[in-house]
């Protein structure tokens, strides 16, 4: 219990720092540095805490903007609707899902993400999102362990974003 309170205080401190930086700093680079530090500290804590978790108790949570914008398939209801055409990374996530026997979900927002986590009760979540959503999502999910990975906004925010399959697989491999 003491550890949970201690970590909650650390998370609260970082979260407040991020909020203050966003409010008063006009420089997005400063805000980004604080977010990256928060995610880095969080991820180290999570990996240490989750060493002995079976891989099949892991869920991968993705933003809807990871799907190609022109794709006619609805993968937010089930990721298995993806036909693995290669135009986005959803197919690669499906391959990881099958290879490691993990759950995967594409969420359109925080409410759907929380619903998925409540239904599946994973022991570890690997979450991919933009900085703002990732930091607030990790804070909201506490004490559930969430390993955070920033998505890559190569086409601007919330449009045909990208992610590192290698980083996700690296986390899964560390649990083996």
What number of residues does the chain have? 176
**Predicted pLDDT at 69:** 95
Segment 22-41 shows an average pLDDT of: 76
**Predicted pLDDT at 113:** 92
**Predicted pLDDT at 7:** 79
3-state helix/strand/coil string of the chain: CHHHHHHHHHHHHHHHHHHHHHHHCCCHHHHHHHHHHHHHHHHHHHHHHCCCCCHHHEEEEEEHHHCCCCCCCCCCCCHHHCCCCCCCCHHHHHHHHHHHCCEEEEECCHHHHHHHHHHHCCCEEEEEECHHHHHHHHHHHCCCCEEEEECECECECCCCCECCHHHHHHHHHHHC
Segment 35-57 shows an average pLDDT of: 92
Instruction: State both tokens at 84.
Output: 């693995």
Question: 53-78 pLDDT, tens per residue?
Answer: 999 999 999 999 999 999 999 999 89
pTM of structure: 0.89
pLDDT tops 80 at residue 31: no
**Predicted pLDDT at 8:** 80
pLDDT tops 80 at residue 26: no
**Predicted pLDDT at 10:** 82
**Predicted pLDDT at 30:** 54
Per-domain residue ranges for the chain? 2-175
As a whole-number percent, the residues of the chain with pLDDT over 90 amount to 65
Distances (CA, A) of 30 to 22, 26, 33, 138: 9, 8, 5, 20
Instruction: State both tokens at 99.
Output: 């290879």
**Predicted pLDDT at 27:** 63
Q: Greater confidence, 33 or 122?
A: 122
pLDDT tops 80 at residue 100: yes
**Predicted pLDDT at 161:** 94
């Amino acid at each position: 219990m003491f550890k949970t309170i201690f970590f909650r205080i650390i998370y609260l401190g970082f979260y407040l720092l991020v909020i203050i930086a966003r409010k008063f700093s006009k420089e997005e680079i400063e805000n980004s540095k604080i977010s990256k530090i928060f995610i880095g500290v969080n991820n180290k804590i999570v990996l240490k805490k989750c060493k002995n978790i079976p891989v099949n108790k892991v869920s991968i949570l993705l933003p809807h903007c990871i799907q190609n914008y022109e794709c006619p398939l609805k993968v937010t209801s089930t990721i298995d609707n993806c036909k693995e055409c290669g135009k986005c990374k959803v197919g690669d996530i499906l391959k990881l899902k099958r290879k490691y026997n993990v759950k995967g979900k594409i969420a359109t927002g925080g409410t759907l993400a929380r619903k998925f986590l409540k239904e599946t009760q994973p022991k570890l979540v690997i979450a991919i999102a933009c900085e703002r959503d990732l930091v607030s999502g990790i804070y909201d999910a506490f004490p559930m362990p969430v390993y955070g990975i920033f998505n890559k906004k190569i086409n601007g925010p919330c449009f045909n974003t990208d992610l590192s399959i290698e980083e996700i697989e690296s986390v899964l491999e560390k649990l083996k």
